Amino acid sequence: SNLAILASGSGSNFQAISEVIKKSHHNVSCLICDRKSAFVMERAKKLGIKVFYVTYYNRDKSEAEKEIDSILNSQKVDLVALAGFMRILSPLFTNKWKNRVINIHPSLLPKYPGSHGIEDSFNSGDIELGVTIHYVDQGMDTGPIIYQESFTRCDGETLESAEEKIHRLEHRVYPQILIKKLDNFNKAI
């Protein structure tokens, strides 16, 4: 099956997913990126993955989303993975792609949604830290949870050490969950 990845930033998850998918019988069809200077674009070029830049500037969100939708259709995409994509998708888009858009978030949702998931989790003092993989709906980091994995904060844990553990955890679990979903998708067809 064909996966598209939407990202806005560094793209370490994009890289981890792409490397694992390349060795599977599935395919990363393309990267769609909304930020011209995002490092994820360099990663995609190095990996030989097609890049589509979709701007959100000076136009309605619905126009940008129409463009994303037509790219997904033209690339015959089955499943979409958000990997640090820093935009909320509108109901029109999420309803059309219902159960076909997945996101990863660096906290144990429903705790600490938003763009500071790691800092907010760390500063809360919670003993358990972790990541959540979920279907995307119109909300911010809402939508049905597919998978969570946590670890226990260690003595002397710092924000930096927690961040590193969370990213390593993301890079391990996100590709595996996406492959499972892509497998299921094949069966359904």
Binding-site residue numbers are 11-13, 59, 86-89, 103
- Report in angstroms how near the CB of residue 101 gets to ligand GRF at its nearest: 13
Rounded to the nearest 5 percent, the helix, strand and coil shares of the chain are: 40, 20, 40
- Whole-angstrom CA distances from 101 to 32, 52, 85, 122 are 13, 17, 12, 27
Q: Which candidate, 114, 150, 116, 148, places its Cα nearest to that of 130?
A: 150
Stretch near ligand GRF under the rule CB under 6 A, chosen from 8-16, 21-29, 42-50, 69-77 = 8-16
Between residues 65 and 170, which has the closer beta carbon with respect to ligand GRF?
A: 170
> Is there a cis peptide before residue 144, judged by omega within 30 degrees of 0?
no
In the range 128-157, which residues lie near ligand GRF by CB under 6 A?
A: none
Contact between 18 and ligand GRF (CB under 6 A)? no
Q: Which one of residues 30, 49, 79, 83 is an interface residue with ligand GRF (CB under 6 A)?
A: 83
Half-sphere exposure of residue 34: CA atoms within 13 angstroms, side-chain side: 21
Based on the residue annotation, tell me whether 105 is a catalytic residue of this protein.
Answer: yes
Between residues 66 and 148, which has the closer beta carbon with respect to ligand GRF?
A: 148
State how far Cα 56 lies from the chain centre: 18
**Distance between CA atoms of residues 46 and 15, nearest Å:** 10
Between residues 63 and 164, which has the closer beta carbon with respect to ligand GRF?
A: 164
Between residues 1 and 103, which has the closer beta carbon with respect to ligand GRF?
A: 103
Stretch near ligand GRF under the rule CB under 6 A, chosen from 53-61, 101-109, 146-154, 180-188 = 101-109
On whether the CB atoms of residues 31 and 49 are closer than 8 A, the answer is: yes
On whether the CB atoms of residues 44 and 35 are closer than 8 A, the answer is: no
Q: Give binding residues for (6R)-10-formyltetrahydrofolate as ranges.
A: 59, 86-89, 103
Contact between 170 and ligand GRF (CB under 6 A)? yes
Stretch near ligand GRF under the rule CB under 6 A, chosen from 5-13, 24-32, 67-75, 148-156 = 5-13
State how far Cα 105 lies from the chain centre: 8
Contact between 121 and ligand GRF (CB under 6 A)? no
Tell me the catalytic residues. 105
